[in-house]
Amino acid sequence: MNIRLKIWRQEHEGDAGKMVDYSLNDISSDMSFLEMLDTLNEQLIQKNERTIEFDHDCREGICGQCGVMINGRPHGPLTNTTTCQLHMRTFKDNELIVIEPFRATAFPVKCDLKVDRSAFDRIIQAGGFISVNTGQAPEANDIPIGSPVAESAFDAAACIGCGACVAVCKNASAALFTSAKISHLVLLPQGKIEAAARVKNMVEQMDNEGFGHCSNTEACEVACPQAISVLHIARMNYEYNKLQVLKK
Amino acid sequence: MLDARIPDGPLAEKWSNFKSHARLVNPANRKKLTVIVVGTGLAGSALAASMAEMGYHVKCFCFQDTPRRAHSVAAQGGVNACKNYKNDGDSVYRMFYDTIKGGDFRSREANVYRLAECSASLIDQAVAQGVPFAREYGGYLNNRSFGGVQVSRTFYARGQTGQQLLLGAYQALMRQVGLGNVELHARHEMMDLVLTDGVARGIIVRNMDTGKLERYGGHAVVLATGGFGKIYFLSTLAMGANGSAIWRAYKRGAYMANPSWTQIHPTCLPQSGEYQSKLTLMSESLRNDGRIWVPKKQDDQRSPNNIPEEERDYYLERKYPAFGNLSPRDIASRAAKERIDEGYGVGPLRNAVYLDFTRAIQNQGEAAIRKKYGNLFTMYQKITNVNAYKEPMKISPAAHFSMGGLWVDYELMTTIPGLFAIGEANFADHGANRLGANSLLQACVDGYFIAPYTLANYLAADIKTGPIDTEDVAFAKAQVGVEEFMSKLLAIKGNQSADQFHRLLGKILYDKCGLLRSKEGLMAAITEIRQLKAEFWKNLHVPGGEAMNSELEKAGRVADFLELAELMCNDALYRNESCGAHFRVEYQTPDGEALRNDKDFAFVSAWEYKGEDNGPELHKEELNFDVVTPTVRSYK
Ligand SMILES: Cc1cc2nc3c(=O)[nH]c(=O)nc-3n(C[C@H](O)[C@H](O)[C@H](O)COP(=O)(O)OP(=O)(O)OC[C@H]3O[C@@H](n4cnc5c(N)ncnc54)[C@H](O)[C@@H]3O)c2cc1C
Ligand code: FES
């Protein structure tokens, strides 16, 4: 198949950046989207042009490192699929594909399609953990946890931290990311103890990083490769409001 | 002969003896000591967090944009621990024995015993961190079985066990970063190790966002940089996985052990075209319910569902009735290769075998299978466009895990004082073949429970050293060396990309230093690798400059892989026996199984770098089996 591409090129943070046109001919529709970019980069190397910088590592949908806007959608047209798991068979012959970085104030563009998502790390640093040192743990089966509870905690814990939820949100809110961690930990008996401090600190950090507020458009759940539910945002809000009420 | 510094006493007491007598560092002195941890996978994150919790100062590095993306995240199947929750006869000894036997009697008894001994605590630690392992309806932890063993000791979190364990370790690490006890440097790649007076004292790293080189000093340096299976180009590893950190350490004097022992995993997605960049693993847990077969007729073009039962060859069940589809990985992979090479392969390139769930779905229902493996079936469909509930999966062997790595003693220290290696980066514990679900365990146990003790034992002598001066000439010299290396790569301006060389290298290794090895093949491989290396330094093309530049990163890694590949071939050539994943065609039993030679080869090969112009020097660590008696490994 043949494709036409418009790709965001930006030398470094602060550079103006622009869209540049490329095209690729005779590629296999079984190719993954990132292999398509590899193929384009091979051609750029032959022409001694700077290759397109994009993030990726595992290429199997689990590390969360990949992620670009494809025709205006984070990770492209398929629901619950990372950029690395997208294949060219999803596109039509001669289709125009527009590729841009994830955009958000809290995710500055570093170069071409690479953005800085370290704000997510700082949200976790603020409270996305259970305070247990190595060596302190009791015997694992001492605290039984019902399978449904463990499974719900898992649903939230499955987040891969890619940032698609932020990129798709018109407010660039990190509510889905933050709430998924809050939900994962508050559902488990081990995580309940620190619930109040956790929600307060994580929500504050989220605001400090420059993420916007959640206005419940629910676009994030659709864009999320792991299909993390917006119900976690409701749980985060509940935990947060509980705190405000208790304070008064 | 190399001395592994194994503590005295009976096997079961060695580790407690060590812990009781190891030197300690007083809490007030710990903050004066800095530990550099390169790598934030399970091994690195676990260690960095644990050391910081104890009060040491930690500097931690990874090449991804956040520690949570280390390739441990991709492990699907599970993690072993001998909790014996199933009451099926598991014990520390049995786990030790399974691991030693699985490794084809080529690992160190004392290390393996300690691995099994510490396994139970890992599950406790992970659960306390909030890792949502699978549970039974009563709320207790669930287990499943994995290849090469007959008990159920594998703990799992759906098909995302690595992700969940890593997030537990990552969160512990983030907590320490937030508290100011760990200095985190993501997107920093280690370029060299710095020694002063023969002792590891720091590293040179490249900031991958700016291209700038930076120096960091510490009282000990720990490499937790994962496996180098990516050397085969097509592998189950991440795109950035590399051998560079351990290779630079090797060139500074750390010995490299058994570098050619690579696990080729039997259940991966087959290659579908020349453009392909990686091979995705389908968790081995699928072999609990999936049955592996090929058509009885060569080059059978029919669709699998049209091939009647009696025309299918369930070759693992046929050849290894006791373990069947759960035979260990080396055996399952070789059996698949044998069928494929004989012309029974399936799929468009005839490079695959079937993994079939029909019977499991009939017996247990589709819902039960979906609950166990749903995400794997979804992943399979995303990649191949095939619904595996309706049609068997096509799988094929792919490079997956490095049993080899930096040689370490019982304390996980390399031959360079102050340089430690943990997790997949070291060679320990798995012998010539790693059992499924044992390496998440090893990475975790090294990081949480072993290195914190052995590092303290080492650091106790360093409390008066004071801060490490990175202005020292050793740092300056190392930095100049890295600068020269980078400029050399940029200056070649030939006409081939780093990936093109990497693909060719991968092909040589798959053909001649993969599942099957022979003297002629290995000798030819060495010649080909040398030619490829010469061609690389003549014809590589890296566009762009020193700032952020993925092509430059790749080029550096490929340059190291080209050298490491030759050492792998030398290692495989020297070992005139077959053991585990190392199968030399000259050494096999009449029915085609590995023929080990305990008389001449019951040792670890540890290679010492002797400079650009000389071959490496071999040192041997003798393997003494005081407790188990090496037997012929049979899964029939
Ligand atoms: C697809 C797949 C599935 C697997 N499934 C299982 C399973 O089910 N059960 C099991 O037990 N094992 C499994 N394994 C094996 C297991 O996951 C690994 O052996 C283990 O996670 C390795 O952990 P690690 O901490 O040593 O390294 P990794 O997790 O690979 O981490 C390496 C770290 O080093 C850093 N690094 C590397 N090079 C450099 C450098 N030059 N400079 C700076 N930083 C660097 C990286 O950034 C990363 O942080 C699987 C492996 C793969 C590939
Ligand atoms: S590259 Fe890891 S999720 Fe896409």
The edge-to-edge listing of strands for the beta sheet with B57-61 is B182-185, B57-61, B34-38, B220-223, B419-421
Phi and psi of B619, rounded to 5°?
A: -120, 150
Nearest residue to B418 (alpha-carbon basis) of B362, B459, B364: B459
What pLDDT is attached to residue B327?
87
Query: What is the CB < 6 Å shell around ligand 2?
Result: A 56-59, 61-66, 82-84
Q: Which of B399, B416, B436 is at the close of a domain?
A: B399
CATH classification of the domain holding A121:
1.10.1060.10
What pLDDT is attached to residue A248?
66
What is the tens place of the pLDDT at every residue in A163-202?
A: 999 999 999 999 999 999 999 999 999 999 999 999 999 9
Chain B residues whose beta carbon lies within 8 Å of the beta carbon of residue A120: 66
Nearest residue to B353 (alpha-carbon basis) of B391, B310, B387, B397: B397
CB contact under 8 A, B379 and A85: yes
What pLDDT is attached to residue B45?
98
Place of tokens 């001994």: B117
Phi and psi of A136, rounded to 5°?
A: -85, -10
CATH classification of the domain holding B537:
1.20.58.100
Based on the fold, state whether residues B498 and B604 are members of the same structural domain.
yes
Give the Å distance between the CA of A73 and the centre of ligand 1.
Answer: 31
Structural domain harbouring B346: 265-399
CB contact under 8 A, B541 and A130: no
In this structure, what token pair is assigned to residue B393? 């999966």
Based on the fold, state whether residues A65 and A146 are members of the same structural domain.
no
- Classify residue B571: in a domain, yes or no: yes
Phi and psi of B362, rounded to 5°?
A: -60, -45
Give the Å distance between the CA of B440 and the centre of ligand 1.
Answer: 8
3-state class of A233 per DSSP?
helix
- Taking the CA of residue A62 and the nearest CA in chain B, the distance in Å comes to 6
The contacts of residue B1 (CB under 8 Å, 6+ apart) are B619, B620, B621, B622
What is the tens place of the pLDDT at every residue in B534-583?
A: 999 999 999 999 999 999 999 999 999 999 999 999 999 999 999 999 99
Which of A32, A65, A118 is closest, CB to CB, to B69?
A: A65
Based on the fold, state whether residues B482 and B395 are members of the same structural domain.
no
Mutate to test the interface with B, among A11, A31, A63, A109 (most CBs of B within 10 A): A63
Based on the fold, state whether residues A97 and A153 are members of the same structural domain.
no
Give the Å distance between the CA of A56 and the centre of ligand 2.
Answer: 5
What pLDDT is attached to residue A231?
97
pLDDT bin (cut points 50, 70, 90) of residue B376 is: confident
Based on the fold, state whether residues A121 and A220 are members of the same structural domain.
yes
Distance CA A148, CA A146 (A): 6
Nearest residue to B143 (alpha-carbon basis) of B133, B129, B132: B133
Q: Which of B352, B368, B399 is at the close of a domain?
A: B399
CB contact under 8 A, A61 and B379: yes
Based on the fold, state whether residues A221 and A153 are members of the same structural domain.
yes
Which of A12, A28, A62 is closest, CB to CB, to B73?
A: A62
Distance CA B396, CA B210 (A): 40
CB of B401 sitting under 6 A from ligand 1: yes
Q: Please choose from B69, B72, B188 the residue to mutate so as to test ligand 1's pocket, defined by most ligand atoms within 8 A of CB.
A: B72
Cα dihedral angle (B535, B537, B543, B544), rounded to 10 degrees? Answer: 170
Q: Could you tell me if B434 and B75 are in contact, meaning their C-beta atoms sit under 8 angstroms apart?
A: no
Based on the fold, state whether residues B386 and B477 are members of the same structural domain.
no
Question: Which is more confidently placed, B145 or B35?
Answer: B35
pLDDT bin (cut points 50, 70, 90) of residue B96 is: very high
Q: Could you tell me if B390 and B265 are in contact, meaning their C-beta atoms sit under 8 angstroms apart?
A: no
pLDDT bin (cut points 50, 70, 90) of residue B150 is: confident
User: What type of residue sits at position B538?
Assistant: K
B634 has pLDDT over 80: no
In this structure, what token pair is assigned to residue B143? 């287990």
Q: Could you tell me if B72 and B443 are in contact, meaning their C-beta atoms sit under 8 angstroms apart?
A: yes
Nearest residue to B43 (alpha-carbon basis) of B404, B422, B426, B441: B422
Distance CA B561, CA B407 (A): 18
Name which of A156-160, A241-245, B220-224, B306-310 the model is least confident about: A241-245
Chain CA centroid to CA A221, Å: 11
B55 has pLDDT over 70: yes
- pTM, rounded to two decimals: 0.97
CATH classification of the domain holding A47:
3.10.20.30
- Taking the CA of residue B281 and the nearest CA in chain A, the distance in Å comes to 9
Name residue A99's beta-bridge partners.
Answer: A7, A70
Q: Could you tell me if B427 and B405 are in contact, meaning their C-beta atoms sit under 8 angstroms apart?
A: yes
Q: Residue B10, exposed/middle/buried by CB under 10 A (0-12, 13-18, 19+)? A: exposed
3-state class of A13 per DSSP?
coil
Give the Å distance between the CA of B226 and the centre of ligand 1.
Answer: 4
Based on the fold, state whether residues A140 and A89 are members of the same structural domain.
no
Name which of B197-206, B567-576, B582-591 the model is least confident about: B582-591
The Cα-based distances of B151 to B94, B235, B431, B440, B512 in angstroms read 9, 29, 21, 18, 36
Q: Which of A43, A76, A104 is at the close of a domain?
A: A104
Phi and psi of B392, rounded to 5°?
A: -60, 150
CB contact under 8 A, B543 and A60: no
- Taking the CA of residue B322 and the nearest CA in chain A, the distance in Å comes to 32
Phi and psi of A184, rounded to 5°?
A: -50, -50
The contacts of residue B105 (CB under 8 Å, 6+ apart) are B431, B579, B596, B598, B602, B623, B625, B628, B630, B631, B633
Phi and psi of B323, rounded to 5°?
A: -110, -25
What is the tens place of the pLDDT at every residue in A39-67?
A: 999 999 999 999 999 999 999 999 999 99
What pLDDT is attached to residue A146?
96
Q: Give the dihedral sign, CA A37/A38/A43/A48.
A: positive
Q: How many CB atoms lie within 10 A of CB B634?
A: 10
Q: How far apart are the first and last CA of chain A?
A: 64
Mean pLDDT confidence for B384-400: 95
Q: Which of A79, A104, A129 is at the close of a domain?
A: A104
Q: Which of A76, A104, A132 is at the close of a domain?
A: A104
Q: How many CB atoms lie within 10 A of CB B366?
A: 14
Q: Indicate which residue's Cα is closest to atom 15 of ligand 1.
A: B439
Based on the fold, state whether residues A200 and A227 are members of the same structural domain.
yes
Please name the residues between 28 and 47 in chain A that touch chain B, using a CB distance below 8 Å: 28, 30-32, 34-35, 38-39, 41-42, 44-46
Give the Å distance between the CA of A178 and the centre of ligand 2.
Answer: 20
B43 has pLDDT over 90: yes
Q: Kind of pairing, strands A3-9 and B312-313?
A: unpaired
- Classify residue B21: in a domain, yes or no: no
The contacts of residue B56 (CB under 8 Å, 6+ apart) are B25, B30, B31, B33, B34, B35, B181, B459
Distance CA A163, CA B564 (A): 36
Name which of A136-150, B191-205, B585-599 the model is least confident about: B585-599
Place of tokens 């996978």: B41
Nearest residue to B562 (alpha-carbon basis) of B602, B610, B530, B523: B530
Q: How many CB atoms lie within 10 A of CB B405?
A: 28
- Classify residue B41: in a domain, yes or no: no
Q: Could you tell me if B109 and B432 are in contact, meaning their C-beta atoms sit under 8 angstroms apart?
A: no
- CA-nearest residue to A157 within chain B is B164
Measured from the alpha carbon of residue A59, the closest ligand is 2
CB contact under 8 A, A62 and B127: no
Any A CB within 8 A of B66 CB: yes
Task: Tell me, letter by letter, the H, E, C secondary structure of B164-193.
Answer: HHHHHHHHHHHHHHHCCCEEEECCEEEEEE
Phi and psi of A161, rounded to 5°?
A: 65, 35
Count the domains in chain A. 2
Distance CA A218, CA B205 (A): 42
Q: How many CB atoms lie within 10 A of CB A136?
A: 11
Based on the fold, state whether residues A166 and A90 are members of the same structural domain.
no
- Classify residue B600: in a domain, yes or no: yes
Any A CB within 8 A of B448 CB: yes
What pLDDT is attached to residue A133?
98
CB contact under 8 A, B66 and A118: yes
In this structure, what token pair is assigned to residue B366? 């589709």
In this structure, what token pair is assigned to residue A20? 């540049």
Measured from the alpha carbon of residue A32, the closest ligand is 2
CB of B46 sitting under 6 A from ligand 1: no
User: Annotated catalytic residue: which of B329, B517, B584, B596?
Assistant: B329
Mean pLDDT confidence for B496-500: 98
Q: What percent of chain B has pLDDT over 90?
A: 92
CATH classification of the domain holding B309:
3.90.700.10
What is the tens place of the pLDDT at every residue in A94-131?
A: 999 999 999 999 999 999 999 999 999 999 999 999 99
Any A CB within 8 A of B138 CB: yes
Based on the fold, state whether residues A92 and A128 are members of the same structural domain.
no
**What are the helix (H) ranges across B108-181?**
109-129, 161-178
Mean pLDDT confidence for A74-83: 96
Please name the residues between 298 and 357 in chain B that touch chain A, using a CB distance below 8 Å: none
Q: How many CB atoms lie within 10 A of CB A11?
A: 15
- Classify residue B504: in a domain, yes or no: yes
Mean pLDDT confidence for B460-468: 96
Chain A residues whose beta carbon lies within 8 Å of the beta carbon of residue B170: 124
Phi and psi of B204, rounded to 5°?
A: -110, 130
Look up B329 and say whether it is catalytic: yes
B306 has pLDDT over 80: yes
Mutate to test the interface with A, among B167, B283, B540 (most CBs of A within 10 A): B167
Mean pLDDT confidence for A203-216: 97
Count the domains in chain B. 2
Based on the fold, state whether residues A148 and A241 are members of the same structural domain.
yes
What pLDDT is attached to residue A44?
97
Distance CA B41, CA B21 (A): 30
Based on the fold, state whether residues A90 and A123 are members of the same structural domain.
no
Q: Which of B345, B374, B399 is at the close of a domain?
A: B399
Based on the fold, state whether residues B478 and B581 are members of the same structural domain.
yes
Task: Tell me, letter by letter, the H, E, C secondary structure of B203-221.
Answer: EEEEECCCCCEEEEECCEE
Based on the fold, state whether residues B379 and B497 are members of the same structural domain.
no
What pLDDT is attached to residue A246?
81
CA-based angle B499:B222:B208, to the nearest 5?
40
Mean confidence (pLDDT) of chain A: 97
Based on the fold, state whether residues A181 and A238 are members of the same structural domain.
yes
Distance CA B108, CA B105 (A): 8
Structural domain harbouring A65: 3-104
Based on the fold, state whether residues B390 and B513 are members of the same structural domain.
no
